[in-house]
Structure 1
Amino acid sequence: MGIDAVLNTAKATATDALAGTRRVVVKVGSALLIDDGRPARDWLDGLASDIAHLRGEGREVIVVSSGSIALGRARLPGGGSMRLADKQAAASVGQSLLMQAWQAALEPHGLVVGQILLTRDDTERRRRWLNGRATLEALLGHGVVPVVNENDTVATEEICYGDNDRLAARTAQLARADLLVLLSDVDGLYTADPRRDFGARHLARVEALTPAIMAMGGDANAVAGVGTGGMATKLQAAAIARAAGCATIITSGEAPSPLRALKEGARATLITAPDTPMAAYKAWIAGSVQPAGELTLDDGAVRALRAGRSLLPAGVTAVAGAFGKGDSVRLLDAAGRRVGVGLVAYGAREAALIRGRRSDKIETLLGYPGPAALIHRDDLVLEA
């Protein structure tokens, strides 16, 4: 049963969601990963075993990991508060240590780690977004476990907030994951701070992020260490993921094998999503991106698109507009009627050079081997 079917079950739990996922992003914070300036090796080994088990079940796993600053800071002289430049220096020193820790944990399970460093621009600019997505897909296709971190050596905003929750949500959006797991120091969302209010209720399932729900991430959980920068950012991350069709689980990561604990019914909060990742992505293409150009198609190309195929250069008869790679373009039939809209894999100049030609001629025409499709079927939406 796919995760969309699981989440449509009225009583589905976080355990059910994990069991039904196809592609999951797991976010790990420094508090879990680092122990006295060093990797928490026993805990990492437990999580690595969990990841290997999920992979053995045929699920794809992406890790978003904090920890580079904490690891690097332990190697730098001095102490006390750190300026932004000092944090960036620590990240530079600690990033290789972080990847070594992940590789050491996953290698005994026969798993290879691939590093991805992202900034906000990489997840919000279409061209860089497409490049990032292509890299993630290639890594997953080779059976690699991608480990994503903020590119702290050049980023400024995220490093100031110390927040990788939103980065994890943007990674889930980028990867079109159907589940985001935020491992925390608490076992989910409560109606109030459970340390001060013994009547606070744990919320096992949230189906709408209303203002009242979002408010629970602030003062209600502050004393428990999950206020601003904690539960508040987790709910903000869940909102980003939800808009991309990705469900979110907030659960404690303090168990020796936190994902196994979740599979065995550990307490957690499941925040559902109203659509699948692909449906949300298609809705974004159709309604949120302003087309920058037009492609006119022959009748054969139109029939191929309606049969669920990608748009190949051979079916394009005309190119109009000054669009770049990753931009949105309108698709027109021979009579000028709108057929749909999609995100192009080539800019206007390249599209004009390869239009009407077979895909096996692309390298000869452009001087480099590019994608066979001008617009992949996943990146286009057809008119009804």
Structure 2
Amino acid sequence: MTPDTEEKRIVIKIGSSSLTSKNGEVSRRKLEKLVAEVVRLKDDGHKVLLVSSGAVAAGYRKLGCLTRPKTLSEKQAAASIGQGLLIETYSDIFMSHGYVASQILITRSDFSDENRYNNARNTINVLLDRGIVPIVNENDTITMDFLRFGDNDTLSAKVAGLINADQLIILSDIDGLYDSDPRKNKGAKLLTKVNEITPEIEASAGEPGSAVGTGGMKSKIDAVKIAMASGISSFLGKSSTIGIIYDAVYKNALGTYFNPQENMENLNQKKQWIAFNSGPEGELTINHAAKEAIIKNQTNLNPSDIHSVTGRFRQGAVVKIFDVTGEEIGLGVVNYSSKALDQFINHTAADNENFSNAAIESEQLVCRLDTAVLAGV
């Protein structure tokens, strides 16, 4: 640890194109470069977690495919081969530096279930505290398309929130965020510091830059929004730049630094889970007065505030909250089931004496205070 630097928890997302050779095989040279930079950070006393793509890209040629598979079953078969090759190579290289790597395969359902979400956090915390380098990837071998995170950019942001990371580093095949697509506009300017994701920034996000990856600039911006809502600073830079990871941690790298606004409400662990991972089970429509109250004052949402209930859900479920015009207000954990709330709406006040609790307590409510809070839900 250098004298002027505190220990940090750092999540590094590395994409397929940054790990594989032109013919689709795992590039040991690229992995050695990546690991060497992680080792420098580890030697400085930092705790590092990798979110690594590359399983399908590493395995599809071993499956006998000449190009990246298109069907789900072939992708999953390729991932079952490639994931083993990938983690074996990582483990071997880290071990040569005296560090142990571990593999964690995650599905979206692991995050949507609060108990499994907490178990994942506890497991990763133990690994980090013991000096291990967790290597996280989506479990592509068994995950169906409708249960996927979509890309590892989103996964990396959610993992960063899961472990209360200090910094998220997203490596790509581009130097950072530009004010327009640099592949189409030679005059595009690199944005080195961003404190707010504006509609203009979102509009400037281009298409994927690599044939072997799944995420484009839009997915990276969405990931950054999740990280910023969780109070985590982020960096986006080019993976092939020498020393990019180490320099990014020490604020010396060429790329884009995203810093949460100081006056922005950061979501605690519970609200992060509600906002980004929970998977709402139903909907509540509330009246206008309740909407104004919970947005301005973050007050409880009471049963009397509810105009209608949609869907069937249990007590303790996460639901979406709308106003009567259909505008989404936020998310919350309900104290009553959909059946009980329907009974409240359809009965007289005398019949509702048992509804003494708030429908949603303010501590379990995530309002759409800004565009970042519900990004990626």
What TM bracket, shorter-length normalisation? 0.5 to 0.7
Is the aligned partner of 1:248 residue 2:234? yes
Is the aligned partner of 1:91 residue 2:79? yes
CA contact (8 A) 1:169 1:241 kept: yes
CA distance in 2, matches of 1:167, 1:243: 15
Q: Name which of 179, 185, 190 aligns with 1:202.
A: 190
Provide the secondary structure at the position in 1 that maps to 2:102.
strand
Shift of 1:92: 0.9
Q: Name which of 266, 271, 287 aligns with 1:284.
A: 271
CA contact (8 A) 1:72 1:91 kept: yes
CA distance in 1, matches of 2:134, 2:273: 29
Provide the secondary structure at the position in 2 that maps to 1:34.
coil
Matched letter for residue 48 of structure 1: V
User: TM-score normalized by structure 1?
Assistant: 0.65
Partner of 1:374: none
User: Is the alpha carbon distance of 1:329 and 1:195 closer, same or farther for their aligned partners in structure 2, counting shifts above 3 Å?
Assistant: closer
1:305-344 matches, within 5 Å, as none
Is the aligned partner of 1:230 residue 2:185? no
CA contact (8 A) 2:25 2:59 kept: no
Q: Name which of 37, 41, 50 aligns with 2:24.
A: 37
Q: Which deviations, in whole Å up to 9, do the C-alpha atoms of 1:71-106 show, x marking residues without a partner? A: 111211243443101100111111111101111221
Provide the secondary structure at the position in 2 that maps to 1:79.
coil
In the alignment of these two chains, the number of paired residues is 286
Is the aligned partner of 1:189 residue 2:177? yes
Partner of 2:131: 143
CA contact (8 A) 2:38 2:246 kept: no
Is the aligned partner of 1:180 residue 2:181? no
1:42-121 matches, within 5 Å, as 42-80=29-67, 81-121=69-109
Shift of 1:165: 0.7
Q: Which deviations, in whole Å up to 9, do the C-alpha atoms of 1:99-140 show, x marking residues without a partner? A: 011112211111101111111122232111111111111111
Shift of 1:49: 1.5
Give RMSD over aligned pairs.
3.8
CA distance in 2, matches of 1:328, 1:196: 46
Q: Which deviations, in whole Å up to 9, do the C-alpha atoms of 1:223-244 show, x marking residues without a partner? A: 9669983111100111111111
Partner of 1:363: none
Matched letter for residue 140 of structure 1: L
Q: Which deviations, in whole Å up to 9, do the C-alpha atoms of 1:166-200 show, x marking residues without a partner? A: 11111111111121100011110111122332322
User: Is the alpha carbon distance of 1:84 and 1:161 closer, same or farther for their aligned partners in structure 2, counting shifts above 3 Å?
Assistant: farther
User: Is the alpha carbon distance of 1:122 and 1:28 closer, same or farther for their aligned partners in structure 2, counting shifts above 3 Å?
Assistant: same
CA distance in 1, matches of 2:57, 2:274: 42
User: TM-score normalized by structure 2?
Assistant: 0.66
Ranges in structure 2 where 5+ consecutive residues have no aligned partner: 281-313, 318-331, 336-355, 365-377
User: Is the alpha carbon distance of 1:210 and 1:57 closer, same or farther for their aligned partners in structure 2, counting shifts above 3 Å?
Assistant: same
CA distance in 1, matches of 2:273, 2:76: 39
